Structure 1
């Protein structure tokens, strides 16, 4: 996995969960003003919306938007109980993320 992030942006929440779950991942900083990654890639080719966080799950498979990424990651380890499975409690977590 690779997290495309910008310091001070909401991508920090994804970074925290990746660490909490002890997942292997790489980081690549994005300059939102120029839409260039630190390796010189055009970020619009990675995420046409031009926004972070963007999580690369595998080659050419990307997940965007924090309200999609955080629940996806939280469900990778159900024993951590980071997000309820269903019901009002789950809805409240998603409400909070939105």
Structure 2
């Protein structure tokens, strides 16, 4: 992995892998973050890739603006790990040498 990828937060890492995050409300003050690609939910083994977590104060509706040490932050971390399992991050290619016949 490169330094640029390491300096991003979890939401930006998910976006750099080519995925998005969809937020849905669930019962009993819970939220669900779904992993999306091109506007459609990503399916793995026929099930959508999701993370369900408690949201008692309702401040995690926007995944890009989650607060530090909140349940939404940890849910994004879990969703990022699932996204990396589906599509691992690719390192940036090294620049080619200007000298012929050298890697």
Question: Which of the five TM-score ranges fits, normalised by the shorter chain?
Answer: under 0.3
- Bigger radius of gyration, 1 or 2? 2
Question: Comparing both structures, which one devotes a greater share of its residues to helix?
Answer: 1
